[in-house]
Amino acid sequence: MNHKWTLTVIALTSILVLMVAVAHAQTPVLIHNEEFRGDAIIAIDSLYNRNSKASGEIMQKWETRYPEHPIWEMWDAMEIWWVVLEDLYDHSNDDRLMEALQRSDYAAGQLLNRQPSHPDALIIRALANGYIGRHYSNRDSWLSSVNVARKAYSTYQTLMEVEPDFPDNEFVQGMISYYAEYIPDEYPVVRAVSWFFPDGDKQEGLRKIRIASNEGVFSRPEATYFMGNILLNYENEVDKALQYFQELVNKYPDNGYYRRLMVRTLSSQNRNEEVLAEVNRVMERWQAKQEQSKRLIQEELMFWKGRSYYRLNNFDAALEAFNEAISNGKMLPNRPERLYHCVANYYAGLASEALGNTEAAKSYYSAALTQDVEGDFIAKARERLKAL
């Protein structure tokens, strides 16, 4: 009896040890930790403000505590994402970005194999595939973009079942709700297959995106960005859109992408004095930054500065700004495909004509013709050159 009792105790002890080991092997759900969510929001803000060092320092204690968690793969990918997004004409980091995003997706998949429906893993997989889809669209690989987007959406559907109250869900649901009404209305050819779309409601979609822009963890800045874009491009509510873009600039003053978006929008509304004031503010802030970052933002913003001066009939100042845009563009990667290098040369030609310098105008138009960009600026430059 004693022998049997001893074996029973050993067996029960072994089971308990195994249960404890399995419990310890479970990867924690970090989004359920309020302290982590608070730190993550601050760290993401640092990441979006182009301060990856500060972001890493904020998350270091969590990485030290949970080094095997797949979120760190995603964090690395998000850092590279901003390097690529800052200058989409530079393809030199594309492979690094795709490898990092694929590693994130794989790490999330490994966790889901061990712990199906793990909320963190679902979020990471959805984010990774969402970024992959957006990168493909940035590179005009639309079929690949749609295929990956389906995977991201499928993961989000599972996440919404597992974590129905997660605030980032509002962003996805809002985007779907808005475009499900917008697309069939704007593109009649789609109405024939409108059964494919869920029921849409643009106003409800905007309401949900607005909630995500205020309360989201990972999606907050993206929701703010898309609110501005939708209001500007689809709802024709320019002033409201500018409020969202201004919010992005205020929150992330060192993010050149948002700075350029703000100036671009002001220029599209012919708010020339505001463009000049904003460009001067940006240039003052960018003086202390690395040369590559300064060249990149000066290429575009000097063009918009010149465009404003041109509209104000200050052709000397316009030409000076266009020349600065051109000189910066010459030192940036992939010059033949850079849109602002082309349009700066084209408008420098127009400014030269206005100043009576025909030979200089010919030189600028000829330079514009060497570019390989979308739009009608090549044709316009050719027409002006023939006219001279």
Higher pLDDT, 80 or 17: 80
| pLDDT tens figures, 52-70 | 999 999 999 999 999 999 9
Q: What is the mean pLDDT of residues 106-130?
A: 95
What is the model's pTM?
0.88
Question: 284-388: what CATH class?
Answer: mainly alpha
Whole-number pLDDT of residue 149: 84
Q: What is the mean pLDDT of residues 145-173?
A: 90
| pLDDT tens figures, 254-310 | 999 999 999 999 999 999 999 999 999 999 999 999 999 999 999 999 999 999 999
Whole-number pLDDT of residue 197: 55
Q: How confident is the model at residue 339 (pLDDT cuts 50, 70, 90)?
A: very high
What per-residue string of b and e applies to 306-344 under the rule 16 or more CB within 10 Å gives b?
Answer: bbbbbeeebbebbbbbbbbbbebbeebeeeebbbbbbbb
| pLDDT tens figures, 183-192 | 666 655 444 4
Q: How confident is the model at residue 14 (pLDDT cuts 50, 70, 90)?
A: very low
Closest CA relative to residue 132, chosen from 176, 92, 169, 94? 94
Q: How confident is the model at residue 26 (pLDDT cuts 50, 70, 90)?
A: confident
Q: CA 198, 219, 130 angle in degrees (round to 5)? A: 65
Higher pLDDT, 17 or 52: 52
Q: Spell out the alpha helix ranges (H) of 187-332.
A: 202-215, 220-233, 238-251, 256-268, 272-286, 291-311, 315-330
Whole-number pLDDT of residue 146: 83
| pLDDT greater than 60 at residue 357 | yes
Give the C-alpha separation, 319 to 350, whole Å: 9
Q: How confident is the model at residue 179 (pLDDT cuts 50, 70, 90)?
A: confident
Classify residue 334 by its DSSP letter. S
Amino acid at 58: I
Give the C-alpha separation, 194 to 190, whole Å: 6
Kindly give, in sequence order, each residue whose CB lies less than 8 Å from that of residue 29, ignoring residues fewer than 6 positions away: 118, 119, 120
